[in-house]
């Protein structure tokens, strides 16, 4: 019985660790995405820092990436940037790969 409880605790710990890792990678990805969008909009360094935080915050609205995509599309459209939803989705994937790479290299 103890072995089963130990294994159960181990699985719960691994799940919590994996969830935390994915959260950190998503937040890093959103900061990278915010930095890219801020560059397209011509924001200052201070505005870029605030915008990156706003993009991270936008991800808390609902599960998945649609809230972030919606925010970026709305902001970029309002700033008269010629960027489509497909462009944003492609950049999101690119930033996901980069965020994971950065996170893994930080763990070494």
pLDDT the model gives residue 108: 67
> Domain segments of the chain: what residues?
40-108
Report DSSP state, residue 99.
H
Whole-angstrom Cα Rg for the chain: 17
Q: How far apart are CA 33 and CA 56, in angstroms?
A: 9
Q: How far apart are CA 75 and CA 71, in angstroms?
A: 6
Q: What is the mean pLDDT of each run of 10 residues along the chain (108 residues)?
A: 74 81 93 97 96 94 89 96 96 96 86
* Secondary structure class of 65 (helix, strand, coil): coil
Would the CA dihedral through 66, 70, 83, 85 be positive or negative? positive
pLDDT the model gives residue 74: 96
- The pTM score is 0.84
CB neighbours of 39 closer than 8 A, spacing ≥ 6?
48
């Amino acid at each position: 019985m103890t072995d089963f409880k130990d294994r159960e605790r181990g699985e719960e710990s691994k799940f919590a660790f994996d969830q935390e890792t994915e959260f950190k990678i998503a937040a890093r990805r959103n900061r990278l995405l915010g930095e890219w969008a801020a560059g397209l909009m011509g924001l200052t360094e201070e505005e870029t820092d605030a915008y990156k935080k706003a993009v991270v915050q936008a991800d808390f609205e609902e599960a998945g990436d649609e809230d972030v995509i919606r925010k970026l599309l709305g902001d970029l459209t309002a700033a008269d940037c010629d960027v489509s939803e497909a462009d944003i989705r492609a950049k999101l994937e690119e930033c996901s790969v980069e965020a994971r790479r950065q996170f893994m290299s930080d763990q070494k």
